Amino acid sequence: MKKAVQLEKIGWVVFDLLLLLLGWIFLVTCTSAKDTFPDPVSVFSMLFTSFVKPIGTYTMWGHIMWSLYRVMVGFTLASVTGIIVGIAMGSSKIAEAIIKPIFEFLRPIPPIAWIPLAILWFGIDEASKYFIIWLGAFINVTLNSYVGASRTDETLIGAARMLGAGKRKVFTRIILPASMPQIFAGLQVAMSSCWMAVLVAEMVRSNEGVGWIIIRGTDTGNTAQIIVGMITIGVIGFILTTAMSWIERKVCSWNTTL
């Protein structure tokens, strides 16, 4: 029964893709869009050859690795700093009073708005990219970890203290695991925001990466290359978020809402 339902779902996905493809073919053969819009054949042949034939200095693998590497640096930094600051805010009233207003102030400013300052402060190379990628993710992880830690059930803290747990053990064995689901919600959003930030950063200034492929396509009037870049971005983004939920299910298998 379950298998049949799954098969049906897959069937609809295939149907959707075919529909999309048909629409695309119609667009490039029967309308005037064909001047500015590449046909599926040239896009897919370029997509497949890009993995062996370099675009610029690197093949598609190289560009993907560059982008992923930047994301991983920013994401890791953001996770570590965000969880520490967020949990500090959630478990200490003083930390909350000092840090929270700053965050409320910074949160509505999109990371992209920081690009000019980032370039002035960190130069146009990798450091400013890491900063931009880190920033948006950091704010998300911090706020989510904060909410998670501050909503820890008081009864559980009381129960742990009654069983003999001191301050440090209450922190590592109660507050930290209790915040985990919320932290993961933050990491999930942070991953998407990192992926978005890296593309912007690469479009602004770089010589490699998936974001660069698109910008390069615009500069050379190569519309197929732009779409190849976009498809790659979508697929990688999808893989990243799926991987995150998979890790969450493994780490928080005790969680009732999963």
Binding site for other proteins (CB under 8 A): 153, 155-156, 158-166, 169, 173-174, 177-178, 180, 252-256
Of 186, 162, 170, 30, the residue nearest 103 (C-alpha): 186
Q: What's the min distance (Å) between Cβ of 142 and other proteins?
A: 22
Q: What's the min distance (Å) between Cβ of 169 and other proteins?
A: 5
N- to C-terminal Cα distance for the chain? 22
Q: Which is nearer to other proteins, 112 or 165 (CB)?
A: 165
Location of structure tokens 């440090």? 168
Q: What's the min distance (Å) between Cβ of 155 and other proteins?
A: 5
Contact 236, 64 (CB under 8 A): yes
Q: Which is nearer to other proteins, 8 or 154 (CB)?
A: 154
Q: C-alpha angle 180/183/184, rounded to 5°?
A: 90
Q: What's the min distance (Å) between Cβ of 177 and other proteins?
A: 4
Handedness of CA 182, 183, 188, 189 (dihedral sign): positive
Tokens of residue 72, six digits: 């991983």
Q: What's the min distance (Å) between Cβ of 95 and other proteins?
A: 24
Of 207, 210, 206, 201, the residue nearest 240 (C-alpha): 210
Handedness of CA 188, 189, 191, 192 (dihedral sign): positive
Q: Which is nearer to other proteins, 62 or 177 (CB)?
A: 177
Q: Which is nearer to other proteins, 187 or 226 (CB)?
A: 187
Q: Which is nearer to other proteins, 3 or 250 (CB)?
A: 250
